[in-house]
Every structure is written in C-alpha cells, then in structure tokens.
Structure 1
Amino acid sequence: MAQAITPPRGMRDFLPAEKATRERALGIIRRSYTAHGFDEIETPVMEDIELLHSGLGGDNEKLSFSVLKRALPQAEIEAAAAADDAQQLADLGLRFDLTVPLARFYASHRGELPSVFRAIQIAPVWRAERPQKGRYRQFVQCDIDIIGEPSQLAEAEIITATLATLDELGLEGCTIRINDRRLLTAMLEVFGFTSAEHPQVLITIDKLDKVGEQGVVAELRERDATPDAVDTLEKFFHRITTKEFNPFGVRAITKALPAGIDPALIADLAALAEVVDPARLHFDPFLVRGMGYYTGTIFEIAHPDFTFSLGGGGRYDGMIGRFLGTDVAACGFSIGFERIVDLLQADVTGATDALLLLHEASATPAQLVALKTELIAAGTRVRLEKRTKNTKAQLDRAAASGFTSFAFVAPDTAAAADLDVKAI
C-alpha cells in the first residue's frame, strides 16, 4: 500500500479557495489597521535562542522550536546529551509569537522610530503544540501594538481598531472581555493570598472556564494555598449577584469585585467607557491572560456563539525595558486569525469580474493570449481552460475558486466583444 503523503503534523496545505479566503481576510485586516494609523513591520522568523528563553514568553517558551548550531563537535553533542540539556546545542529558534520579536525590534531601531510607535505584524509563528482541532504547530498571528504611549489612549485606540476590524470582517456580535492585572492582584490580597502565592493562584484561576468554580477551589486546596483565602474565594464565587443595568462603568465594576479594592484603579479602567461603546465592553474580574508579562489592562475578544476567545492582549510596560534598561510603555492586541478565518464566508472573488474562458484544443496560443490580455486590461480576472466533456464539473470548480462567469472561445473569436459571457 502506498504511504500517505501529508504535511507535517500540526501544519496544513491550503487549496486555492482556502488560500483566497485567507488572503481576503488578511487584506481587510491590513486595510482596517492601516486606516487607524498603524504601520506594518516585518521581523525574522528566527531569533537568538537566549532571547526566546529569556522569560518574556511565559509558558510558550516551553513550546519553542530550536535550531541546532552548525557543525557541532561530537564532544559537545555528547556533553549536552549527558546533561539532558538539548537547548545548549541551539543558537537560534523559530519565533513562538510576535510580541517578543517586536520588543527586540523596537530596542534595535528605537532611534529610527517615532516617540509613539504603532505597529502591525501579520506573520506565521511556530509552537510545538500537541496538534488538535483549532490548535496548530504553524499558524498566523495578526497583531497591533502601540509602544511609547503610557496613557489609556493606547488601550482605547487598540480596542477601537480591533472592534472596527472585526466589524469589517463581518463578525457581528463581538465584545471585549476586560480586566486589569492590578485589580487581580488587589483582589487576591483582599482574599488573603500571600504575594508569593499570586502567580500559582492566577494560573489556577485561569482554568475557571475549563474546570469551573469548584475545580478551581479543589486545585487550590490540593496545592496547599492559604486555607482561609481559599474559603473567602469560594464564598465570593457563591455570592448573590444582581444584574447591573449599566453594562460597563464604575458601578458595574465595583459590584463585580470584593469590598476593599482601591476606587482609583476601578475608575481608571471604567474610563474606557468614555471612548469605547460601553455596550461592547464586559468586565470580567477573573480574566487572567496567562502571560506573566502583562502589567495593566488585559482583554479578550468574545463572541456569543463560541465559548473560546477570538483573540486577546493587554498592557506590558515592563518587557522592552529588559533590552533597554529603562521601561517603555507598551500595549498590544492579537486577533486569533486561524479561528476567525474559519468563521468567514468563503467570498473569494477578489475582483468585480472573474471570467473562465473555455476553449477548444484547436485554439492558438496567440488567439487565447490576445483575448486574455484584452480582458485583464479592462479589469477582469481571467483563466484559460481547455473545454472538456464534463463542462459542469469545470464550472463547479471555477465557481469554488471565485469565478463568476464563463464564455466559450470559438475558432473565430478575435476580441472580447465577440464573447457570449454567461453567469456560472
């Protein structure tokens, strides 16, 4: 039996119709973000291994693909094997996200960039995931970031641009779940968790949508978290709540939090409602975002038809300072392109007219190329195909590739005006 020939696990081929849908979506995203004043950049697919494993990428560092050094001496290979440390054999690695490369990019080119830099990055990234539906080893990320703006203007611009882009893509009903890492920290302190416990407690709370409230409480008890703090958290989970009429604001945020949180932090987050439609913002006190580099506002894209998020981001003011020695304000948002593109209708026409020319074997190259050149000059997408007995199958395939009309090329067809164009 012949062996199946498939792409590597977790990676995919895209047929023409699929590729056209993806490119259409990417075109909309680029146009929308560009209209909001962002500039596209490009970084290498590989970065130095020390950068990728510097603690900036959180758990994603464990999923990075490493690239072996060239011409390694056998002794060095054996030493690494004996120490069970394959990483010392690598000097480069494939990027696992676009945020770490952006931080390095900004540090490299700061003098050539404006004081407030608005960046677009759209590119593939690689992670050594366990492949499953919706989770791949190679996938595209679509990021926008604002570097150098410490005020809430950065969050407002990024959220507004992202919502506008989702609307342009035709994804109706998207809202933004929003929280602040400072509010999370304050909440854990009110519950009674020690500061040393905070990282692990947040990791457990981040599983809330998967294991539920009781699952979170059970795991915290198993990990020997402060018993009184776990009891307080459990009581908070079971508190009686009433629906808040105001969808997002000081009152709604205050009611969703335990007593004792600094009102200034609440007012700071609620101020976003002055810029972004509050009906599209939803405060979630237990939104964590697993990356440890977030320092302030965090957010995710929610859609009423799906339990998973369609993207996320937040403020990460401390990351770039790791390179420059001084902190630089930064905030970013990443659209989950692979999830979103699967939700889009396969509108792949790409042009107002797409015409299939079906010709006989007797047609000459000069005749066909002249026709095609004339039609393309008039703004029509054109494909030449030799007519087969099963014309219906040809038309079906063409329609799947975005062609909207067809015409037969007769031996005496000399110009586009001679064609009898019909809709597919």
Structure 2
Amino acid sequence: MKIDNSPARGTRDLLPDAVAARDHVVGLIQDVYRRFGYRRIETPALERIERLTGGQGGENEKLIFQILRRGLGSELPAGTDPSELVDLGLRFDLTVPLARYYSQYRSELPQPFRSFQFGPVWRAERPQKGRYRQFHQCDIDLIGEQSVLAEVELIEATTQALAAVGLSGTTVRLSDRRLLAALASACGVPDDAQPGFFITLDKLDKIGWDGVMEELRDQRGVATEVVERVRSAIDSLIEAPAGKVVDVLADVVPTTPEHVSRDLATTISCLEQLPAQTVRWTFDPTMVRGMGYYTGQIFEISHPAAAGSIAGGGRYDELIGRFLGTDVPACGFSIGFERIVELIAAPARDDHVAVLYDADVVPVEHALGVARRLRGDGRTASVIRRSGKLPAQLDRLGSTHVTSFIHVQTEHDVHELPPERELRGDTE
C-alpha cells in the first residue's frame, strides 16, 4: 500500500526559506519585548485535560485535541464514556499553560513577572485559508500588576513589535468585559444568559446585527426589545469621540462601576500620549474576545490587509486562581504569528558563500579548510562538490539561500583564495 506523504490535514511543512523568514520575524519581536523587560519561557505542548477544560477557554474548549491514556486494551466495555479514556490534551493557547506555570513556580519568579512565549498550539478547526490546526502564537504577559500599567505597556510593546517587523497602519481596538457586563445588565440581559450573549455578540463582525439578533432570539432566548436596547447603547458608544468615551459611557450605562470608568480613562489618557504615528486606537464596544477567562479590559489590533485581528489580549485576573487557589492580577497580549508572516515581505537574503570544489583535484579536507577560514571571518559558508556543468549548478544555487561562490579548482587555491563572485546565475 502506498503511503500518503503529505502532512496531516490542517498542518503544513515549512521549507528552509520559510523557516528563515519566520526566525527573522521572531527575532525582531523578541528584541522589542526584551527591551521592555520580558523574558522568554517555555511550557509543554501537553497539559492535563482537566486544566484545559475548566470553562475558561470559550468555544476553543470544543476544539481540543484529546489524548487517550496509555495502556488501553484492544477492546473496551460497552457503554464506556470516552471522557474516561482521556487524561491529556494539546494546548489550544499559551495563556492557560502560563497560568499553570506561574502557579507552580511563583516563589521562584520575580514580581511582577514579565514573560514572553513563542510556540505551537493546536485546535481541531475546519482547515481553511489562513486557519490551521497547528499554528504558532507569540505572547507576552505581565503577571502581578493590578493597575492599567499592564494594559498600556502591553499595547505599546506589541505595537512597537509589529512596527519592527514592518507592519504599519495598524489600529488598536479597546473595550472592557466589565463594561459589557454592566451594559448587558442595564439593557435587561439576565445574568445567566450573559455568557451566551457575549459569545453571540462576538460574531457581530461576521454575521452582522441581523444575524446576532436572530441567534440571540432563537438560540439564546433573549427578547428582541432587549437586543434593540443593547444595539442602541453600543451605537451611542461607537459614535463617541475618542476623548469623550468615558463621559458618554456615564450617560449611556450609568451603572458602570466607578473603578471601571476610572481604569478606562487612565488607559485612554496613556494611549493619547503615545505618538499618533506609533499607536492608532479606537474604542470598540462590540469587541468581546471569545475566551471566558477575560475579566477586564480587552484589546485587539487590526490591519487593513487582514480580514480579522492580527493580535489580541486582555486582563484575566481570575485564571491563575484556578491553579493557585488565590487570584493574581494578570494581563496578556498574543500576536497571530501566522497572519503577520503572511502580511510582511520576505527578509533580504543573508550573506552566504558556496565553496565549490573539484573533488578530482582538491581533497575534501582542503575544501573544508577554505570554508573554515571564511567562517573565522564571521561569514556563512557551505562546502559543495562540483557536479555537472557549472552554469547549470550556479542556476540551481541561485534559487537557494546562497548569495556568492568561490570556485576552488586546485590545491593552490586553498592558500590563496580565488576571487569571490556574486551569484546571479552567471557563469565563469
């Protein structure tokens, strides 16, 4: 039987040039985050299933790749509950593993703790353009800071990171889950219906108000007049000038807690002090963020060339408490790495010399010596045996990462290097 050599559906292989481009982007992002004091950590791909299914991951908990326990027999008793066979799952984001990580090593970590993570995550989604079952996330998190210093710093650092990789024209969208809860209650959405209400509202950019109203009425049991009040309140907030958001909020949702309005005012004041060419922002009360663990301000970054957001995050003050037993203030921002890689131009090729040698007259150890001399000067060099016609071989090298070549044809060339030539598909 012939084996299919293609990667699993919803995943992909990456060729060397693609990996080099991704490494370049990660390096630029990490350099920015390092200047803000964030240090890289790593967490495992596997987590205990009960840690991934605590009701805080929103719709993503339905997309977990679950892993069966080892030692299962070839036959199972009739009526066996599949959930009893699972003890591990592949992480669907980097935030839940970070909460577990912090709860385990808190005594060994600086306070507050600034972390940077980059790694793969998995979701059992329907594969489509721009959406994969395995993809990479790039996160920074600030744990232990209860003020909006965390929110503003994360926004500033992430927008600078995106600018460093060449993405301009981005816009930060800002909202607050506490404000949305106050708005929903003021408009008559029952408390027990609010989780489902927010899940539906989060689809507004995809299905529009007509679709939201239909789903809330038919599937969530929310009365039409309640949805109309919500829509009217949200429209009023959207139309508010940037500097008047808090004032309009006091009129539209007077039940908003004072500390929520105060936090929002501080964040807006800080954002307005940043250079406009660096950070453009808008207040967007239609934004919900799908994760159930968000407890305060939330934010996303959009780009004109991207259909959805390219980064998102927010405050999750109660998530760590699930593992630690004591709530710890926490805030994070995640860059949609796959999306930004598709938006930016490929980096220029690095200097890379091919040492071509004629094996019939030049011993391999001499060719290796030539490459060693080049590397000693800080160059990148690869030893490649001459084969076939030289023009054809240069054409093949021209389609790779090699930028120039040295042709070693005699042992004398080892001591006095022949001239280096740029690789443009030309011949000697």
Query: What is the TM-score when the length of structure 1 is the normalising length?
Result: 0.90
- Report the equivalent of 1:385: 384
Structure 1 pair 416/22, CA: closer, same or farther in 2 (3 Å)?
farther
After TM superposition, give the deviation of residue 381 of structure 1 in Å: 0.9
How do 1:283-294 residues align onto structure 2 when only pairs under 5 Å count?
A: 283-294=283-294
Residue 144 (str. 1) matches residue 143 (str. 2): no
Please point out which of 175, 180, 183 is paired with 1:179. Answer: 175
Residue 354 (str. 1) matches residue 352 (str. 2): yes
How do 1:109-128 residues align onto structure 2 when only pairs under 5 Å count?
A: 109-128=105-124
Residue 105 (str. 1) matches residue 101 (str. 2): yes
Structure 1 pair 235/102, CA: closer, same or farther in 2 (3 Å)?
closer
* Cα shift readout 1:180-212 (whole Å, capped 9, x = no counterpart): 001111221232212122111111111111111
Residue 269 (str. 1) matches residue 267 (str. 2): no
Which moves more between the two structures, 63-72 or 151-160? 63-72
Say whether the 8 Å CA contact 2:238–2:283 is kept in structure 1. Answer: no
Residue 233 (str. 1) matches residue 230 (str. 2): yes
- Report the equivalent of 2:22: 22
Say whether the 8 Å CA contact 1:66–1:87 is kept in structure 2. Answer: no
Distance 2:391 2:233 in 1: 64
Residue 53 (str. 1) matches residue 53 (str. 2): yes
Distance 1:192 1:166 in 2: 40
- Report the equivalent of 2:214: 218
Structure 1 pair 78/396, CA: closer, same or farther in 2 (3 Å)?
farther
Distance 1:304 1:37 in 2: 30
Please point out which of 203, 207, 225 is paired with 2:203. Answer: 207
Unaligned runs of 5+ in 2: none
After TM superposition, give the deviation of residue 329 of structure 1 in Å: 0.3
Distance 1:209 1:7 in 2: 32
- Report the equivalent of 2:128: 132
Say whether the 8 Å CA contact 1:143–1:332 is kept in structure 2. Answer: yes
Residue 169 (str. 1) matches residue 165 (str. 2): yes
Identity of aligned residues (%): 45
SS of 1:125 mapped into structure 2: strand
Which moves more between the two structures, 20-29 or 48-57? 48-57
Which moves more between the two structures, 162-171 or 38-47? 38-47
SS of 1:414 mapped into structure 2: helix
Unaligned runs of 5+ in 1: none
Structure 1 pair 419/175, CA: closer, same or farther in 2 (3 Å)?
same
* Cα shift readout 1:202-226 (whole Å, capped 9, x = no counterpart): 1111111111122212222223312
After TM superposition, give the deviation of residue 89 of structure 1 in Å: 0.7
Which moves more between the two structures, 339-348 or 383-392? 383-392
Count of equivalent residues: 414
Say whether the 8 Å CA contact 1:257–1:285 is kept in structure 2. Answer: no
Say whether the 8 Å CA contact 1:124–1:141 is kept in structure 2. Answer: yes
Distance 1:258 1:287 in 2: 20
Q: Residue 355 of structure 2 aligns to which amino acid in structure 1? A: L
SS of 1:384 mapped into structure 2: strand
After TM superposition, give the deviation of residue 36 of structure 1 in Å: 1.1
After TM superposition, give the deviation of residue 138 of structure 1 in Å: 1.2
Structure 1 pair 399/308, CA: closer, same or farther in 2 (3 Å)?
farther
Aligned Cα root-mean-square deviation (Å): 2.5
After TM superposition, give the deviation of residue 23 of structure 1 in Å: 1.0
Query: What is the TM-score when the length of structure 2 is the normalising length?
Result: 0.89
Distance 1:241 1:67 in 2: 44
* Cα shift readout 1:13-64 (whole Å, capped 9, x = no counterpart): 1111111111111111222211210111111221112212222322222211
- Report the equivalent of 2:372: 373
How do 1:201-350 residues align onto structure 2 when only pairs under 5 Å count?
A: 201-223=197-219, 224-236=221-233, 244=241, 248-249=242-243, 251-252=244-245, 254-255=247-248, 259-261=252-254, 262=256, 264=258, 265-276=260-271, 277=274, 280-347=280-347, 349=349
Distance 2:191 2:110 in 1: 38
Say whether the 8 Å CA contact 2:213–2:224 is kept in structure 1. Answer: no
SS of 2:213 mapped into structure 1: helix
Structure 1 pair 394/99, CA: closer, same or farther in 2 (3 Å)?
farther
* Cα shift readout 1:331-379 (whole Å, capped 9, x = no counterpart): 0011001111112222153x4x211233334232022101100001111
Q: Residue 357 of structure 1 aligns to which amino acid in structure 2? A: V
